[in-house]
Amino acid sequence: MHYLSDMDDADLSVDGLVDFLRLVRESVPNADINVIAHSMGTRVFAQALNRLVLEDPGFNLNHVFFASGDLDRNLFVEWVSPAADNMESVTLYTSGSDVAVASSQLLRNLSPSRDRDDRDIKSRIGFFSRNTHPPVFAFEVGSSRMLPYTIDMTRERFSFFGFATRYLLRRARLGHSDYMERTPIIDDMSCILRRGVSDPASRHSALSETSDEDGGIYWHFGADGDQTDRCRETGTGTGTE
């Protein structure tokens, strides 16, 4: 397994991504730059974004997506929140059935400690376990709050036993590429990119609003076969209160 090596390679890629984004901005200064970061790429992009806005507070992006992110939740806040005022919108696509990110989270939480209360649980932005809610975030932007939109892509809740059983039956799905394989999610992202509708309430009839125990709002997709009225509105929405 080359996972740890991959993480090192990802961190070593941050400089290259910073240079690339600067080159894009210099080449097309008036263009809207949209970014879709996936898996461990969310770790690379979050660090690059943090560096860009700290060195150049005027560096702005349009719509930003974190899909199936293999990124620690605390690091997400630390790296991305300073750039909250530099993005038109931030959307997280997360899942309770992403085997790849679930495995990453499991590896990080293996501990010889016998006292479960002393364990520092390392949770990822792209996965949430049974009996928990998807991650919901709020960034402070001056006197206002920027709310990244959390979209739950879960189709069926994950268990390693269930995955192993389906694997033996050759029916296993990793669920790690749903953002580019499931039509409703592709349509949802397209609505943001083409029409600028970042508020889920105005975007997709297959999305239902729900909340966690602290009142944090997130959105859940229905079954892929549900009838949908895609991109219902044409106005723009923002995540700033």
Sequence spans of domains, the chain: 3-221
Q: Would you call 223 exposed, middle or buried from its count of C-beta atoms within 10 A (0-12, 13-18, 19+)?
A: exposed
pLDDT at residue 231 greater than cutoff 90: no
pLDDT at residue 237 greater than cutoff 60: no
Task: Please report the pLDDT score of residue 109 as a whole number.
Answer: 67
Q: Compute the average pLDDT of residues 94-122.
A: 71
The encoded tokens of residue 18 equal: 């910073």
The amino acid at residue 65 is F
Q: Are 71 and 43 in contact (CB under 8 A)?
A: yes
Task: Please report the pLDDT score of residue 86 as a whole number.
Answer: 94
Which of 150, 139, 152, 151 is closest to 240 using CA atoms?
139
Q: Compute the average pLDDT of residues 32-59.
A: 96
62 vs 108, residue with greater confidence:
62
Q: Are 82 and 54 in contact (CB under 8 A)?
A: yes
| Integer Cα distance of 78 and 72 in angstroms | 10
**pLDDT band for position 113 (cuts 50, 70, 90):** low
Task: Please report the pLDDT score of residue 8 as a whole number.
Answer: 75
Task: Please report the pLDDT score of residue 120 as a whole number.
Answer: 61
| Tokens 């029409």 belong to residue | 195
Q: Using CA of residue 15, residue 87, residue 80, residue 183, what is the dihedral sign?
A: negative
**pLDDT band for position 47 (cuts 50, 70, 90):** very high
Task: Please report the pLDDT score of residue 115 as a whole number.
Answer: 53
Q: What is the mean pLDDT of the chain?
A: 81
Task: Please report the pLDDT score of residue 202 as a whole number.
Answer: 83
pLDDT at residue 111 greater than cutoff 70: no
